Amino acid sequence: MTAPNRLTAGLDVVLRLLRNACLVVASICLVVLIASFGWLVFGRYVLNATPTWVEQLSLLLVGYITFLGAAAGVHDDGHLGVSFLRDGFGPRVSSVLRSVSDLIMTGFGLVMFTASTELVRFGWSSQLPMLNLPEGMRAIPAATCGLLVALFCGVRALRRMLGDAPATDAFLLENL
């Protein structure tokens, strides 16, 4: 194994851990979401007393599921996209175009991270109704997603420059 390959192999492990962490947190959020809605239905129809926090908590949880799950999707290259043009030019051009696309995503991820962090700060003094939590908490998963997207795509572009193409294409087949 060459030195750069050892480096990227190490990075791979770290990135996969981050991806898994995203999925674990998002999965817990989904389970909590379903459980709290079960509690809402039970409270409303059986106890005749609606728990007042469920609606707002659910909206918060969906944000965490969406952005963390989306970040994991970027790691796995699982989002929908148009690849016919990029891949129509043969492997060399395609590799360059993939790197360009990854670099754009890296830049966007950084923008998403800084702008969402600003949203967290901006919303920290406002209150989410019924939960007594700062409104800024809604933007935390977006900031996290931005940072992770930058990281995942940045490393992918870096690996290609080091001549060590990432094997993301085969992913969907083996994970269905």
Partner 1 sequence: MGLVVLLGSFAATLLLGVPVAFAMGISAALTFWFEGLPLLMTFQRTISGISAFSLLAIPFFIFAGELMLHGGIARKLVNFAGTLVGHVRGGLGSVNILSSMLFGGISGSAIADISALGSLLVPAMKERGYRADYAVNVTVTSSIAGIVIPPSHNMIIFAIAAGGGVSISKLFLAGVVPGILMCLCLAIAAYVLAIRHNYPSETFPGWRAVLVAAAESLPGLVTAIIIIGGVLSGVFTVTESGAFGALYALALTGIVYRSLSREDFRLAVVNSVRTTAMVMILIGFAASFAYLLALYQVPAQLSDTLLSLTQNKILILLMINLMLLVLGMIMDMAALILICTPIFLPIARSLGMEPEQFGIMLLVNLGLGLCTPPVGTCLFVGCVVGRIRIEEAVRGIWPFYIAIAGALLLVTYVPAVSLGLPGLLGL
Partner 2 sequence: AEEWRGWNIHVEEYPVSMAWSALAELVEERTSGELTAKIFHSGVLGSQPDAIEQLRLGVIDFGVFNLGPMGQAVPEANVTLLPFIFRDVPQMYALMDGDLGEAIGEGMRERGIVPVGWYAAGARSFYNNEAPIESPEDVAGMKVRVMNNDLFVGMIEAMGGNATPMDFAEVYQSLRTGVVDGAENNPPSYESTNHFEVAKYYSLTEHLIIPECLCISLKSWDALTPEQQEIVTQAGQESATYQRELWDEREAASLETLGSAGVEINEIADKTAFQEAMAPVYDAYTADNPDMAPLVEMIRSAE
Q: What is the binding site for partner 1 (CB under 8 A)?
A: 23, 26-27, 30-31, 33-34, 37-38, 40-41, 44, 55, 58-59, 62-63, 65-70, 72-74, 78-87, 97-98, 100-101, 104-105, 108, 111-112, 115-116, 118-119, 122, 138-139, 142, 149, 172-173, 176
According to the binding rule CB under 8 A, does residue 135 interact with partner 2?
yes
According to the binding rule CB under 8 A, does residue 126 interact with partner 2?
yes
Name residues whose C-beta falls within 8 Å of residue 46's C-beta, 6 or more positions apart in sequence: none
- Evaluate whether 134 touches 127 at the Cβ level (below 8 Å): yes
According to the binding rule CB under 8 A, does residue 122 interact with partner 2?
yes
The residue to which tokens 């990281």 are assigned = 151
Q: Which does 12 bind (CB under 5 to 8 A by kind): partner 1, partner 2, none?
A: none
According to the binding rule CB under 8 A, does residue 56 interact with partner 2?
yes
According to the binding rule CB under 8 A, does residue 120 interact with partner 2?
no
| H helix or E strand, kind and range, residue 46 | none
105 CB neighbour count, 10 Å cutoff: 19
Name residues whose C-beta falls within 8 Å of residue 2's C-beta, 6 or more positions apart in sequence: none
- Evaluate whether 111 touches 77 at the Cβ level (below 8 Å): no
The residue to which tokens 């962490």 are assigned = 21
Q: Which is nearer to partner 1, 79 or 92 (CB)?
A: 79
CA angle 175, 7, 22 (to 5 degrees): 40
According to the binding rule CB under 8 A, does residue 49 interact with partner 2?
yes
- The binding site for partner 2 (CB under 8 A) comprises 44, 48-50, 52, 55-56, 122-123, 125-130, 132, 135
